[in-house]
């Protein structure tokens, strides 16, 4: 498959795409990692891409926990 976008993850809420992309850039900036402008991650170190993904996951869990705490009260 010669596709430029090999992401097979499907979003449950497609409108969240822009927010997730923004979160990716914010996390990368916080970590001091430059995201390629052309969108090709092949030349990036696996450690860097893994760090970005890990921090995004932590941030999403934190957001979900805060929403659940607000919904159910602590």
User: What is the tens place of the pLDDT at every residue in 62-74?
Assistant: 999 999 998 887 5
Which pTM value belongs to this model? Answer: 0.74
Q: How many CB atoms lie within 10 A of CB 50?
A: 11
Q: What is residue 2's predicted lDDT score, i.e. its pLDDT?
A: 47
Query: How far is residue 69's CA from residue 7's CA, in Å, rounded to a whole number?
Result: 32
Burial of 59 (0-12, 13-18, 19+ CB in 10 A): middle
Q: Residue 57 above 70 pLDDT?
A: yes
Q: What is residue 1's predicted lDDT score, i.e. its pLDDT?
A: 41
User: What is the tens place of the pLDDT at every residue in 26-56?
Assistant: 999 999 999 998 989 899 999 999 999 999 9
Query: What's the chain's average pLDDT?
Result: 87
């Amino acid at each position: 498959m010669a596709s430029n976008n090999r992401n097979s993850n499907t979003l449950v809420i497609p409108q969240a795409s822009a927010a997730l992309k923004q979160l990716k850039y914010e996390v990368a900036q916080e970590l001091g990692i430059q995201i390629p402008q052309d969108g090709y991650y092949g030349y990036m170190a696996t450690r860097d891409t893994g760090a970005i993904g890990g921090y995004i996951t932590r941030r999403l869990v934190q957001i979900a926990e805060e929403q659940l705490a607000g919904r159910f009260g602590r």
